[in-house]
Every structure is written in structure tokens, then in C-alpha cells.
Chain A
Amino acid sequence: MSKKDRIAEPWGTRTPYASGEPWPVRVDMHLEEGLQAGDVDRWVQTASILHSNGDALDIAVKDDRIAGVRGRADDRVNHGRLGPKDLYGWQANSSPDRLTKPLIRKRGKLVETDWDTAMDRIVGKTRDLLDEQGASAIGFYTTGQLFAEEYYTLGIVAHGGLGTNHVDGNTRLCTATAAAALKESFACDGQPGSYTDIDHADVIALYGHNMAETQTVLWTRVLDRLAGPNPPQIICVDPRLTPVAKAATVHLAPRPGTNVALMNGLLHEIIANGWIDSDYIQAHAVGFSELEKRVKEYPPEVVEHICDVPADRIREAAGIIGRAERLLSTVLQGFYQSNQATAAAVQVNNINIIRGMLGKPGCGILQMNGQPTAQNTRECGGDGDLPAFRNWSNDAHVEDLAKVWNVDPMEIPHYSPPTHVMQMMRYVEDGSIRMLWVSGTNPAVSLPELQRVRSILTQDRLFLVVQDIFLSETAQLADVVLPAATWGEKTGTFTNVDRTVHISEKAVDPPGDAKSDLDIFLEYARRLDLRDKDGQPLVTWHDPESAFEAWKECTRGRPCDYTGITYEKLRGGSGIQWPCNEENPEGSERIYADGKFWSSPEYCESYGRDLVTGAPLEPDEYKAMNPEGKAIIKAAEYMPPHEIPSGKYPFQLITGRTLYHFHTRTKTARAPQLQAAAPEVWVEMSDHDAKAFGIAEGDLTRVSTPRGSVEAKVRISGIRDGVLFLPFHYGYWDTDGGHKPDKAGRAANELTITDWDPASKQPIFKTAAASIRKLKSGKGPSAAPTTTASAPIRPIGRETKGSHNAEVQETLNGAGTEGQR
């Protein structure tokens, strides 16, 4: 047992292990000051909702309050480890500024009210709009933070009850491309890989994926492999010098917006050198010849010119990937939020397909999620997708869903792809959506081009409902605010990126009159008196477990089959990976073994889209292309980004998440250790660029694009030349401005462009032309963390470490030894 400041050492103590061995257990625990493990009243089982890893943990309850957390040693995902966000983030639950009563806007001001008044207002508005215009007037924008039961309930209320096509989740900003890329390559969502692939892989390639900061515990697993015998080789594609890049065998730092060219260069080399599994391609895939033809146009010298990456470096990386025996590929926002997002992510799938690296230990693809319950938004119909991976353009699937819900198929909108959030904002802007219900997310900070978003959300003709745990920037603009319960205060399940389902139990009561999101949606359905076609209540469940049972029925026979899972089975042990049913009673570690896919035209979730235009394929086109249900290889040409540097805006601006904060800092800024580690926005630039512009570490600058500006202190980091980086978590709720800048802007999205990937509809946050200007010299270094990708390139006389009570207890079991790395 030892103590570690996990702000200063985010990944904790090394426990090295060799290829194929089980990952040693290390249990991390952080309790409130003065509390000992033995004094805890009870431990309550849950998992993390502050990142997508799905780390299982127990909440410590003392005197009916949350008083700490401890990792679950038996869990398949984290083997007892926790990341900094989980170790410290729980403290936000008991913040004094939690919403405890509904609020309603009266004479321009939000005032406290009771649930009856608030719900009457919402239900009355809903009825008026349904009478006047129909369901097209109503939109729902939810989160990646709720539980499966809640998304499923929202989905049936919105799609089956009201009949609106306007439903999306903020997973759109984060993981929509993961889903889209999987639908393109395998005609179905769902990850082929498993986290245990890290235990077996000999090459791990991370594309635009700063795993060290986004999934700290998963990165810990990689670090432990690197510290053991026969470590894997790491390939990193990232314009920043991230901890992943520092650990990499080969680091490629392409110009932002050129990922497709780079991927085509890698594929060019892999195919030209014959590092492909021809038998596998022949038996299990369609579309190879088109890929072969397309990547011929991208020899490394051509790619060098587009991406500004040395041709030899591309050859070196391709050689390692091409000769890998067990290749794990992972992808995240560096691809998903960049130019040609889906096209680039699909090329990663292509590498694993043409190398036959699927469905075997160590051979996986993790098209990562950024949000913990993103997978559920996608599965349960909380974003635009129909529940349980049903295909909206397959009439039989809509009829099947209508049977499950006992409604007429015409009641379920399926005339076009469901409306994504950026399009919803457009419909609010043109006045055709007149009521928007936002649950658990914060578009006034998280969407691109904030000036535009604020002007849309503040229109008088919009009726805005916000359901949240704090008075976020968006909540401050609402007509009605509903106080919600959160993690630790309600029960439900959620699913991580490798299909592991965890249960999260209620540990304590929510503050004041706050209610669980499930209860709020159920109440809305009841007051609206939504009925099925026999006149019975449409929503037949009343609590988390009955909602889960209903959801299970909906998944029967579909790829994400939950029918073998019960609350009872999830309690006590570890998470379970779907599909879990009669054939797979203990769940399924890997899917797509032996080249079997869910892509037959009758069964598949999606017929895919054109990677450039985003136009959906018609059913007949798909049938002609893939009659036998194989994997689909889709080639893509490189298209330049829509905004490129100019004399006035000479830089490319990218934004991103960081280790110490999560989604608009709603919770993480209320955890003192996390807030102190990254207290204010900063801007990163390279040493070369800083010298050219006469800027030094810590200088205050103004970063501008055609849309706005932000003021931030400079960190001179290892980022590539010509690129600026801004962390995207900083908004205004903790400033005098409240929901908008009172002086200089500080939210990265003041600057980003309104543009999205045509296939996944994910906004492009990593393509903006920007300028930077020094405003005044700094008095010291910037407050950016020194432990992460924002590490300074030379000592600045200050190191990020924990403020008070940051010490975490680590207990090593088995083979672990301390301090090897």
C-alpha cells in the first residue's frame, strides 16, 4: 500500500506485465479528508461517468453522504484502478450550488417554483405546439451522461409518442463519427475489439487519440505493457506532443485536416508491400479493388507534400503496422472532429480489414467514445438512431419496432435520417423548431460558433427547457429549468466502448426536490397521456429495473442483445459485454470472429453513406454492393479543409479535451484538486512560432478567427509548427458573465466554424484559420498543466501537483512492483 499524488502522477504506480498475461490488480482509493476505509458506512457499486473507459468503482457512503471512491478490483475493465477525474470528481455531487428546485422564467428572470407548475408549463406548451404545427415543432437534445433506461424512455416518448424526428445527443460532438465509421465498414454500430486486446497486441496504433488524457486508466494498461517484457510498439498520429507521442515508436504529426491523405499513404505502403491477408479479403470483404486503385494516388512523397510529414516516417510507420501480428487500432477526436472525419476513421478500419486483424485476441478496433454513456445514446435511440440498431431505412425494422412499442409504424418517423443537432439548431434559427428540451448537456459552451448559438437559444420564439444538476450556461437561458439527480443518486446501467455493461446504484438521495432523469421523462409521458394503439399507456414501466426489462425486450435478436443480463447478474461482480443472451450467457468478449458480420441487407443497422457527400445509400444500392453481408472497404479521396490559413489568419487552430476537466467543467471545476490543476484557459504554440511572433511562455495573447476571439496565456509546448491549441472546457458560469463573455472570451468555441462532417454530422472543431497577437508580457508561466500534452518544452519553474488532500491510496496485488517507469 502506498500513497500517490494523482494530480502530479495521473497514471499512478506501474504494474508491469508481459504479453498474454492478465493485467495485475491495483486498487485506487480516495476518501474525504480524515476518513478511513474502515469508517465507511457502506460501499455502493457504480462505474465512471466522467470519461468513456467504463471504470468500475464503489462509492463510499458516510452519514448518507458521498465521501469517497474506490476502484473495483474484480472488474474486467480497470482491475481496481481509477483516473484523476474519478478520484476527485465525486466531490461535485455535494456542491452547495446544486439545483434543488425547478425554475421558471417570470418577467425575464428565473424564479423558483414547484414541479407541478414547471411540468404544467412544459406539457401545456407541448400540447399547443402539437395542435398548431405538429411534432416537427419539438426537438430533444440529450447527453452522453444519462443511463440506458433514461435514453430508451426518452426515445419512446419522442419517437413513438410525440412522433418527432428531432432527437439527438451531445454524443454527436464526440462519438458520432465512431458510430458512422463502424456503420460504413460493418453496416452496424458496436466495437469489434475488447480492452483485453491491449494485453495481447504487439502493435498499438492510436489515431488522433490522446488516450493518456482521455482514458487515463486504459493508458495505464498500455504503460504497464510498455514497462513489462516484450512491450508493444506504439504508433501515434497527433499534431501535439502528447504523452502517447512521447511513448511512441513512431510519431506522425500531420497538418490538421489532412488525415485522409495520411491514411491513404499508410494504406498505399501496406498494399504495395503485400502486407495484406488476401484470403481474408477474398472471403470476408467487398470493395478492395477500389481501395487499391485509390491509394495508388498517394505514395509517401505525395503525402509528405499534403501532410507535411516526412515520407520516410510514413514508410517506417506503415512497416510496423504492416508487419504487426496482433494489431490494435484506436481512434478518437483527432480524427472525429477534423476534416473528413468519417472518411479518415473508415481508413483505420480498412487497415484492420485488409490485414485480417479482427475478432482475435490483440486484433481489434476501438472507434472510441468520448462520453461514458455514448454507446447507450446510440443503442437506445437517445440520439437519432432507432433503438437496438434498427435500420430507419428498412421498413421491416420500423414495423418490428412498432410491434415492440405497440404503435402504428407510421407513428415512428423514418422518412429521412433523424435530425442531427446542428440541423436542429438551424431549425430553431429559422423558427420551425419552437420547443427544445436539453437534458444533461450545455450547448451554449459546447457547440461551435458560440455567438451564433447564443443568438439562436435566446430568441423569444423559442421555448427552451433545460434539465441539469447545475445552472449551466445553457440553463441560464432557459424558460424552464428542471433539477436533476445524477450519478450516485439514481440507479441505472450504462455501456462502455468495449460493450461492457455496468450497473450504477443509487448511493444517496439527490438534493432538495431534484428528480432522476428517468422520473422526469416518465412524468412527462404520464401528463401528456401518451397511449399505444390499444389505448393503453405507451410507457409501461415505472422504475429503473422495469425500464431495463423493457429495453432488454427491445434488443432481442438484435446485435446489442441484452436479454441475458439482469440487474441481479450485474450486481456484485464485474461488467458484462453484450451480446449476452441464451447462446452467450456470460457475454461476448469479441464480435466479428471468423469474419462473420451483422451486415446482411436484411439485418444490418445502416446501408451507409457516401463519405464525401454524406448521401445515404438506397437499400437497392446496398444490396447490390454487399449481398452476402461482408465487411465493406470504402476508399476516400483527400479533400482540403473548408477554411485554410491566410495572411490575416496564418495559423490552424485545433481544440481538445484535457486530463483534468470534462465536458464544460460542470463537475470537474467543482472538484478542488482538478480545478487547481488546470484553473484557466491557455493557448499552446510551438517554440519556432513563438519566436517568430515575439511571444514568450506566459504572455497574454488574443487568439482570433473570423468568428470571434479568446484571451489566453501562452504555453510553449511540443505542438507542431503552424498550429495553435485551445482546451475546450472553459465557459462562463464561474465568471461575472454567467452565460457569455463579460470581457474577453475564454471558450474555445467562440472561434470554431459551423461546419460538420457530411457522413457523421459531427461538428469539425479542429479546422479554423486563426491569428495570435501578444497583448502583454506575462508575469510568470501559464497555468497550463505540465504533466500532459501541454507540458512545457523547457523547465518553467513550476510543476502541476495536487492541492490539499490529493493523496490517493494505491494497493498492489500480485505481481506489481513500484516505480519502474
Chain B
Amino acid sequence: MKIGLVLHELHRSENDLALELLQVSERNKVDHEIYHLGRDLARWSQDHVREIAEIGKQYGQNLDPEPRHEFNLAEKVREAGSDILGRRSAPALLMLRDLREIYMKASGVSVDWEMLAQAAQGIKHTDLLDVTKRCHPQTLRQMRWANAMLKVNSTQALIS
């Protein structure tokens, strides 16, 4: 059975997505919706990390329940940089790139959840299936958010 592997990969990719959301949030502090929502939505991924670590025990996985954090100088520099550069239009293009990255990463996570759900159904593990039912819809919402923000911001960023 290779479920452990999928859980391991999902644990890694949710951690990665959470960090990406936090970093994008900081880099775009002056775009307030991205700043606040990035942090809110990172929390979903952090919760998922904890859920995966918990259920992982049943599959012989020793995964860290604490989401990875990065409270350091780099974070503060990114925030300050965003405030200073906010009066120029080039950062708008960087923001589009950031949103695109979130969309791609969330898509990857979504696919992982799908695979896990399929496996859980196959072996009739309802606990595991419940985890996917709780977490996967939030991943989809993260994707749709990144997609919607891209739609809202692309026009102005690209034609002005």
C-alpha cells in the first residue's frame, strides 16, 4: 500500500502552499486583500498539515504536526519592501506572478487530495475519507481565490 507516500507528499505540498501564501501575502502587503486573505487561507493549509500528521500515524508516517514557519528577517524585509515599492506599477506584474504560483501550487495539492480520496474509498477507510472531505474543498477554494484575484488584477496591471 502506497498511501503513506501520498500522505507524505501531501504533507510536504500543503506546508509549501501555506508558506507560499504567507510569503505572497507579505510581498503584497500594500494590496490589502491579498495581504489579509493570503494569511487567512494559509491557515487552512496549516490546519491541513496538522490533520495529515494526525491521520498519518495510522499509516506509519511520522509527520511533523507543526506547520513550517518562517518568522525571521526575510519576512519583515519583504513587508517593508512592499510598502516602499507600492507606488510603482511594476510590482503589479510581480503580484500576477505570485498569484499564478499560488494557483499552480494549490492545483497540485488538489490533485493529491483527489488521489488520496480515491485510495481511501478503495480501502473503505472512512476516517481517511473524512479528512479529504474536510480539507479538499478548502484547497479548491484557495484555487478559486487565486484565480479570481488574477482575473480582477490582470486587466489593470497589463493595460495600464
A residues apposed to B, CB below 8 Å: 133-134, 136-137, 165, 415-417, 419, 422-423, 426-427, 429-432, 610, 612-616, 639, 642, 754-756, 758
Closest to A642 in B: B36
Closest to A135 in B: B159
B144 to chain A, nearest CB (A): 4
Residues of chain A with a CB closer than 8 A to B145's CB? 610, 613-615
Closest 5 pairs between A and B when the two form their complex, measured CB to CB: A432-B160, A615-B148, A613-B145, A615-B144, A416-B151
A615-B141, A615-B144, A756-B32 as given contacts; A165 in contact with B155, CB under 8 Å:
yes
Q: Which of these, A134, A426, A431, A610, contacts B144 with CB under 8 Å?
A: A610
Closest to B41 in A: A613
Interface of B is mostly: helix
B residues apposed to A, CB below 8 Å: 30-33, 36-37, 39-41, 86-89, 91-92, 141-142, 144-145, 147-149, 151-152, 155-157, 159-160
**Once A and B bind, how many residue pairs between them come within 8 Å at the CB atom?**
76
Residues of chain B with a CB closer than 8 A to A427's CB? 156, 160
A797 to chain B, nearest CB (A): 45
Looking at B31, B152, B157, the one whose CB has the most chain A CB atoms below 10 A away is B152
* B160 engages A429 (CB within 8 Å): no
Q: Which of these, A137, A415, A426, A610, contacts B160 with CB under 8 Å?
A: A137
Interface of A is mostly: loop
B69 to chain A, nearest CB (A): 18
Closest to B145 in A: A613
* B92 engages A612 (CB within 8 Å): no
* A613 engages B37 (CB within 8 Å): yes
New A-B pairs, 12, CB < 8 Å, besides A134-B159, A613-B142, A614-B148: A136-B156, A137-B160, A165-B155, A422-B32, A426-B31, A427-B156, A427-B160, A432-B156, A613-B144, A615-B141, A615-B148, A642-B40
Q: Which of these, B41, B92, B148, B152, contacts A432 with CB under 8 Å?
A: B92
- Complex CA–CA separation, A612 to B39 (angstroms): 12
* B92 engages A614 (CB within 8 Å): no
- Complex CA–CA separation, A427 to B91 (angstroms): 12
* B151 engages A639 (CB within 8 Å): no
Residues of chain A with a CB closer than 8 A to B148's CB? 613-616
Residues of chain B with a CB closer than 8 A to A429's CB? 30, 86-87
* B87 engages A431 (CB within 8 Å): yes
Q: Which of these, B32, B88, B142, contacts A754 with CB under 8 Å?
A: B32
Closest to B44 in A: A612
Residues of chain B with a CB closer than 8 A to A415's CB? 151, 155
Residues of chain A with a CB closer than 8 A to B39's CB? 642
Q: Which of these, A136, A137, A417, A754, contacts B152 with CB under 8 Å?
A: A417
Looking at A134, A416, A754, A755, the one whose CB has the most chain B CB atoms below 10 A away is A416
* B152 engages A416 (CB within 8 Å): yes
Closest to B32 in A: A754
B90 to chain A, nearest CB (A): 9
- Complex CA–CA separation, A613 to B144 (angstroms): 8
Q: Could you give 8 example pairs across A and B, Cβ below 8 Å?
A: A137-B160, A165-B155, A422-B32, A427-B156, A432-B89, A432-B156, A432-B160, A612-B40
B70 to chain A, nearest CB (A): 20
Residues of chain A with a CB closer than 8 A to B157's CB? 432
Residues of chain B with a CB closer than 8 A to A134's CB? 159-160
A134-B159, A415-B151, A432-B89 as given contacts; A612 in contact with B36, CB under 8 Å:
no
Residues of chain B with a CB closer than 8 A to A137's CB? 160
* A639 engages B32 (CB within 8 Å): no
* A615 engages B147 (CB within 8 Å): yes
A426-B31, A613-B145, A754-B32 as given contacts; A431 in contact with B89, CB under 8 Å:
yes
